[in-house]
């Protein structure tokens, strides 16, 4: 079955100079374009599929553009399900550009982003959840994430979804049978028995997934009043001098994203600007600006906090020398502000090195109970505790780092399934089996959304196969 008539080409390795660059072709014309593009010795790549054959790519005048290893992969057992060609050439920009240009001259079309994977999906080589897993695999920033994406690519997400779908279809057929063949008795009990596996399968699935944000990596914003050491914390976590640190309060004006890997999880740390609190400031005004430049920076900071999966509120631990309660007050005020933005927050008291050891221990204990962390960005004391807490919070919100990655779209569909099942339970309690049936259909539609395909449950087939019905 030929789904697409045109042949697409693109470089498969990242831009920039490297030792080797790979250019790929996919589509019905891949072989013809290869034959037209290269000069070969007695061994021709299209006669030796799946082997690397030394070839020269020539321009229209017959001049050699690059020497490459050419590999012809005949359909259908290829990534896209179509005829494919891979050319491994020299990694210079000019060489890659020239080879790609020649392929386009010969009738290939530049591939759109993700188009190879899309063709793989359209040609039935992989399901949509696998196709999405490929994107996650490419994006994976840590070993744990790679493992999760790999499991999804191996079809584990599909398998879990299959289990949920099966449970839902069984429950639906039980509900339908009770509506269509009402001789059967004690419907509520029998349908309840069938709903339990649905909830169990959904719970298992929920625990197994990692919800990936739109930008791919979760963002962690670091907020707090000026000069509490926000940038120092970022530098400590990233092990670089990414953020400019000065003793001058309010040095940071723009939110600077830094990519780090923490506890097996790739994430983006974002610094935000701070400001001197004014007298009578009840709201933690840490990021409100005073001048026009400040105002702009502060607006961006607020936006950063709103876009973040988790916001760290940093306070100085120094006042604890006099009164530990003052630090706790400052942290809880900051966390309330974050909660007001609808985000998750984590309190961090910095500059622990400025406290006498006894007070530091007491404060650490008090903070731990409140879920907050005592830290010294300067000495690194408490860094492990912070990393663990960040990972814990992200686990809670997104799922484990090595979970099966799901996109925003898929996570939304999972939410829809949960909502439908919750409604279904309520409806069943009230004896409204016909509404429960609608809820189960809705949940099945949700499974279809995660999978990227329509599901049409044939509850009649199931009923006839399972129940002794009829007059």
Partner 1 sequence: MVGAGHAGCEAALAGARLGLATALVTLDRTRVAEMSCNPAIGGLGKSQIVRELDALGGEMGRAADATAIQFRRLNASKGPAIRARRVQCDQADYAAWMRAAVEGCPGLELVEGHAVDLRVGPGGVEGVRLEDGRELLARCVVLTTGTFLGGCLHLGLECTPGGRYGEPAASGLTSALERLGFATGRLKTGTPARLRASSVRLEGLTPQPSDRVVLAFSHDHPPRPMPPGVACHLTRTTPETHAIIREGLSRSPLYTGRIRGRGPRYCPSIEDKVVRFADRDSHQVILEPTGRSQAVLYPNGISTSLPPDVQKRFVRSIPGLERAELIRPGYAVEYDFVPPTQLLPSLEARRLPGLFLAGQINGTSGYEEAAGQGLLAGVNAARKVRGQAPVVLGRHEAYLGVMVDDLVTRGTEEPYRMFSSRAELRLLLREDNAAARLQAWAERIGLLGEAVRAARRERLAQVEALVAQLGELREEGAPGRPSLARVLRRPEVRLAELAPRLGLEVSQDVLEQAEVRIKYEGYVARQLREAEKLSRLAGRPLPEGLDYHAIPGISNEIASKLTTLQPTSFAQAARVDGMTPAALMVLSFWLDHRGCVPRGTSVDGGEDA
* Number of residues binding to partner 1, judged by CB under 8 A: 30
Of 4 and 387, nearer to partner 1 (C-beta) is: 4
Q: Does 459 bind partner 1 (CB under 8 A)?
A: yes
Residues 378-417 that bind partner 1 (CB under 8 A): none
Of 259 and 429, nearer to partner 1 (C-beta) is: 429
Considering the complex, what minimum distance in angstroms separates the CB of residue 182 from partner 1? 5
Give the x-and-dash track for 152-191 against partner 1 (CB under 8 A): ------------------------x--xxxxx--------
Among 122, 139, 163, 318, binds partner 1 (CB under 8 A): 122
Q: Does 6 bind partner 1 (CB under 8 A)?
A: no
Distances (CA, A) of 398 to 48, 208, 222: 47, 10, 19
Among 19, 279, 357, 468, binds partner 1 (CB under 8 A): 468
Of 276 and 412, nearer to partner 1 (C-beta) is: 412
Considering the complex, what minimum distance in angstroms separates the CB of residue 3 from partner 1? 4
Q: Does 196 bind partner 1 (CB under 8 A)?
A: no
Of 120 and 360, nearer to partner 1 (C-beta) is: 120
Distance of alpha carbon 390 from alpha carbon 367, whole angstroms: 15
Instruction: Pick the piece of the chain touching partner 1 (CB under 8 A) from 53-61, 158-166, 350-358, 460-468.
Output: 460-468
Give the x-and-dash track for 416-445 against partner 1 (CB under 8 A): --------------xxxxxx-xx-------
Of 4 and 163, nearer to partner 1 (C-beta) is: 4
| Sites of contact with partner 1 (CB under 8 A) | 1-5, 122, 124, 176, 179-183, 430-435, 437-438, 453-454, 459-460, 464, 468-471
């Amino acid at each position: 079955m030929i789904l697409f008539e045109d042949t697409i080409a693109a470089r498969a390795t990242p831009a920039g100079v490297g030792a080797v660059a790979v250019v790929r072709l996919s589509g019905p014309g891949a072989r013809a374009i290869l034959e037209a593009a290269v000069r070969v010795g007695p061994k021709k790549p299209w006669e030796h599929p799946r082997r690397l054959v030394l070839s020269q790519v020539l321009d229209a005048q017959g001049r050699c553009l690059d020497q490459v290893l050419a590999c012809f992969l005949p359909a259908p057992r290829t990534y896209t399900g179509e005829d494919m060609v891979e050319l491994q050439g020299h990694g210079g920009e000019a060489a890659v550009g020239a080879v790609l240009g020649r392929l386009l001259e010969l009738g290939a079309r530049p591939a759109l982003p993700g188009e190879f994977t899309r063709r793989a999906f359209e040609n039935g080589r992989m399901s949509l959840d696998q196709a999405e897993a490929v994107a996650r695999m490419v994006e994976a920033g840590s070993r744990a994430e790679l493992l999760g994406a790999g499991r999804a690519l191996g079809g584990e997400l599909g398998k879990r979804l299959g289990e949920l779908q099966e449970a839902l279809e069984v429950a639906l057929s039980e509900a339908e049978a009770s509506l269509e063949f009402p001789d059967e008795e004690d419907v509520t009990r029998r349908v309840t028995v069938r709903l339990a596996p649905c909830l169990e399968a959904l719970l298992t699935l929920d625990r197994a997934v990692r919800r990936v944000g739109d930008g791919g990596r979760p963002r962690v914003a670091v907020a707090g009043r000026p000069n509490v050491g926000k940038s120092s914390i970022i530098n400590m976590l990233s092990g670089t001098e990414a953020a400019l640190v000065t003793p001058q309060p309010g040095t940071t004006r723009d939110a600077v994203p830094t990519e780090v890997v923490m506890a097996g999880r790739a994430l983006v740390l974002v610094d935000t600007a701070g400001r001197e609190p004014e007298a009578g400031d009840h709201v933690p005004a840490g990021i409100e600006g005073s001048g026009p430049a400040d105002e702009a920076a502060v607006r961006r900071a607020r936006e950063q906090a709103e876009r973040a999966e988790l916001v760290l509120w940093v306070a100085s631990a120094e006042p604890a020398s006099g009164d530990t309660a003052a630090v706790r007050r400052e942290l809880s005020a900051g966390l309330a502000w974050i909660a007001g933005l609808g985000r998750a927050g984590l309190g961090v008291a910095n500059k622990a090195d400025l406290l006498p050891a006894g007070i530091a221990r007491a404060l650490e204990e008090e903070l731990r109970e409140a879920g907050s962390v005592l830290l010294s960005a300067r000495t690194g004391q408490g860094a492990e505790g912070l990393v663990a807490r960040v990972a814990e919070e992200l686990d809670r919100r997104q799922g484990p780092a090595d979970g099966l990655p799901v996109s925003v779209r898929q996570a939304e569909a999972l939410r829809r399934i949960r909502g439908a099942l919750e409604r279904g339970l309520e409806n069943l309690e009230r004896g409204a089996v016909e509404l429960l049936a609608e809820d189960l259909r809705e949940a099945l539609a949700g499974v279809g959304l995660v999978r990227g395909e329509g599901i049409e449950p044939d509850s009649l087939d199931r009923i006839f196969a399972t129940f002794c019905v009829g007059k």
